[in-house]
Structure 1
């Protein structure tokens, strides 16, 4: 089978080559980020009860780094939602259940979410001094947990196999920390495409876990500000909107 393009973005292309999936990064993409993604994936791929395609190799050719992992035959949950709009609520429930299962795991070798967030807030030049101080103060007051957090959990990062098994990919932002921060990030990602789906997700997660919605909402300004540091143009407008949505107490 010839190598087939599966998806692409400004910084990477993903190909299928038989039983392999190859993520090829653009020339000049930071080596540290490639190695970090491979390391984070390797640390979660053997956790019991989770389906994570295994990393098989990391290589560089002609200045381009790549990560090779197992190829999983199936469709992303985003594709299924798009193809079956009448089943969105059912798919959303499966996604929430999967995220709750992820949060039930522990992976102590991962970076701590709080420390990553502090670094991002301190480095984000778009924040004025008062906003940065308010966000860091709010972050310091949040409960400190060590739950497994994906960091980029959305339907396009979930592959549903023919047998219904749900595989989670793209663990580059994985960390251990407060699950509600992870939920706030997913809410923001969903909001980029469909505010109704985002609200459905938030309501469903809070109901299933007994989490107060205002507690998750309290994370939104922090997560939005930290995410600005990733410099994703398609997210910038929404993130800036959320940074000052809730008053700091």
Structure 2
């Protein structure tokens, strides 16, 4: 297989274009179970009917695990927003509509969001036992839903192609609470642009008829799961959001 060009480099993985396919190659030490889970997640999402690149093959290339998918020609929504700042509101509306379409789907065999969050919080060494207890208690008390949630929904994971929008990178997909998914999107926006984050959350709450305070109750939980990624430039903001009392609503 000729890997023609690198189109993205991420922690532990490199994404190449190869003809009309995309090949995501993982580092040698990347767990096989995580690779297979990502391919399985994406296959389950395909079955919901959402516009996403189809998984074509899971294989090994030069001793490294790889997932081969359809190549979607186009530009990311993140690039479109940078190039056309005057259309920011239009793009944001498209972003929220796409997220609500995802949340309208069910996939009963996907991993459960609450289970994933609980594992991540329990494994977090950067917070004390009391904070961990408060976060896990809050998580346990939140309503249990079974909506498809992307888990990393941001404009760089949307490709605009021939009047269609395709959502990529389903490695964090779960079934769970849509407001938790929105809290994560808000957090990801906030790490880049606080004003845009507020506009996003206001629009999401309006379109989904969700109380702002309800989404805010998820913020300490999703901040804790993001803190576990160990990105030093995010640490200060995430730790600020871990104040459980602040978001009692």
Per the shorter chain, which TM-score range?
over 0.9
Corresponding residue of 1:95: 95
Corresponding residue of 2:10: 9
Q: For the Cα contact (< 8 Å) 1:75–1:160, is it kept in 2?
A: yes
Corresponding residue of 1:74: 74
Q: Is 1:114 matched with 2:106?
A: no
Q: For the Cα contact (< 8 Å) 1:28–1:63, is it kept in 2?
A: no
1:234 offset after TM fit, Å?
Answer: 4.4
Corresponding residue of 1:186: 185
Q: In 2, Cα distance between the equivalents of 1:245 and 1:112?
A: 23
Q: How much is the aligned-residue C-alpha RMSD, in angstroms? A: 1.5
Structure 1, 27-36 or 195-204: larger mean CA deviation: 27-36
**1:182-239 C-alpha deviation (Å, 9 max, x unpaired):** 0000011111111111111000000111111011011000111122223344433332
1:9 offset after TM fit, Å?
Answer: 2.4
Q: For the Cα contact (< 8 Å) 2:111–2:175, is it kept in 1?
A: yes
Q: Taking structure 1 as reference, are residues 215 and 62 closer, same or farther at Cα in structure 2, changes over 3 Å only?
A: same
Q: Taking structure 1 as reference, are residues 146 and 2 closer, same or farther at Cα in structure 2, changes over 3 Å only?
A: closer
Q: For the Cα contact (< 8 Å) 1:138–1:248, is it kept in 2?
A: no
Q: For the Cα contact (< 8 Å) 1:147–1:178, is it kept in 2?
A: yes
Q: For the Cα contact (< 8 Å) 1:51–1:168, is it kept in 2?
A: yes
Corresponding residue of 1:147: 147
Q: Which structure 1 residue ranges, 4+ long, deviate > 6 Å from structure 2?
A: none
Corresponding residue of 1:229: 228
Q: Secondary structure, in 3 states, of the residue corresponding to 1:247?
A: helix
1:245 offset after TM fit, Å?
Answer: 6.2
Q: For the Cα contact (< 8 Å) 2:134–2:244, is it kept in 1?
A: no
Q: Taking structure 1 as reference, are residues 57 and 208 closer, same or farther at Cα in structure 2, changes over 3 Å only?
A: same
**1:171-191 C-alpha deviation (Å, 9 max, x unpaired):** 011001110000000011111
Corresponding residue of 2:202: 203
Question: Gaps spanning 5+ residues in structure 1: where?
Answer: none
Q: In 1, Cα distance between the equivalents of 2:98 and 2:247?
A: 32
Question: Gaps spanning 5+ residues in structure 2: where?
Answer: none
Q: In 2, Cα distance between the equivalents of 1:99 and 1:14?
A: 24
Q: In 2, Cα distance between the equivalents of 1:4 and 1:205?
A: 36
With structure 1 as the length reference, what TM-score do the two structures score?
0.94
Q: Is 1:41 matched with 2:38?
A: no
Q: For the Cα contact (< 8 Å) 1:22–1:66, is it kept in 2?
A: yes
Q: Is 1:137 matched with 2:159?
A: no
Structure 1, 22-31 or 114-123: larger mean CA deviation: 22-31
Q: For the Cα contact (< 8 Å) 1:218–1:246, is it kept in 2?
A: no
Q: In 1, Cα distance between the equivalents of 2:225 and 2:78?
A: 25
Between the two proteins, the alignment pairs up a number of residues equal to 247
Q: Secondary structure, in 3 states, of the residue corresponding to 2:175?
A: strand
